[in-house]
Amino acid sequence: MKSEEWKSKQYCACGAIETIEHIIFECKLHKAKRTWKLLKETWTRIDNKGYKLPKLNMNIIKGLSCIRMNKGKGRRNFEEDKSVTKRLKTLIGLTVWTIWKNRNSRIFNETVVTKKLLMETWKTTLRERISLEWKIIDLNPRTKGLEQTKFADKWANAVKIPDKGKALAVTL
């Protein structure tokens, strides 16, 4: 590819220089801000412990595996709340993935994703992720009870835990 062709590839369809930060947090064409707003709304709706969502930026994305939500107050009293940490990582990962897929769909398939479709895709993917997690827990009878308790803690206001033999209800 000639250097002139590469120069034109540096721009997003919205006219801005296409950096990963632009795609994930700023681009109106990829509906990045709307997708992050959906994450924040979902966090507020399903959080049952009063945790505040951290300020989301590229440092959070790059260091996602290192994030820990603290049960205590301050640095000296650190005890990780694993269920909340896992929920946060799931929601952030899902949001980045949805924005990236939307971008790729527009570029490679020339598909324009509407705000409504984007929101539904995000919610459907989250429902599928939660349901898959439940099915995996259900397959291991030795740790099933303990894992179901952890699962219920993690997704407290997003699911209704079924009675034995019934399907999980994801309430997003």
pTM: 0.85
25 close to 59: Cβ distance less than 8 angstroms: no
H or E element: which one contains 99? helix 82-108
Going by C-alpha positions, the residue among 68, 128, 12, 28 that lies closest to residue 36 is 28
Mean pLDDT for 136-157 is 84
- The DSSP 8-state label assigned to residue 139 in this structure reads T
Beta pairing partners, 11: 17
When mean pLDDT is compared across 2-6, 31-35, 152-156, the lowest value belongs to: 2-6
The pLDDT assigned to 26 comes to 92
- Whether the per-residue pLDDT at 32 is higher than 80: the answer is yes
Q: Considering its fold, how many domains does the chain have in total?
A: 1
Q: Quote the pLDDT of residue 77.
A: 67
Asked if the model's pLDDT at residue 169 lies above 70, the reply is: yes
**What residue numbers bound the domain in which 111 lies?**
3-170
